[in-house]
Amino acid sequence: MPAEQTAEVAHPYVERRPGVHGRRPVIRGSRFPVSPILLEERRGMTMDDILREFP
């Protein structure tokens, strides 16, 4: 898949909105980007740790 194409995945807690973080995925109803959560999960943090880190 070329770099300029991305797959859209529907998720009840994630959205993309015009004017919010360049339409990058954010937590629904907020301006908090999804990327820091995914990064910490890949680094080995548990979901409980992530929830404590990003309340």
pLDDT tens column, 3-55: 455 566 688 999 998 999 888 999 999 999 999 999 999 999 999 999 898 88
The C-alpha atoms of residue 42 and residue 17 are separated, in whole angstroms, by 25
Nearest to 39 by CA among 49, 31, 30: 49
Q: pTM for this structure?
A: 0.69
Identify the residue with better confidence: 38 or 1: 38
How far is CA 45 from each of CA 18, 26, 41, 50, rounded to the nearest angstrom?
30, 19, 5, 6
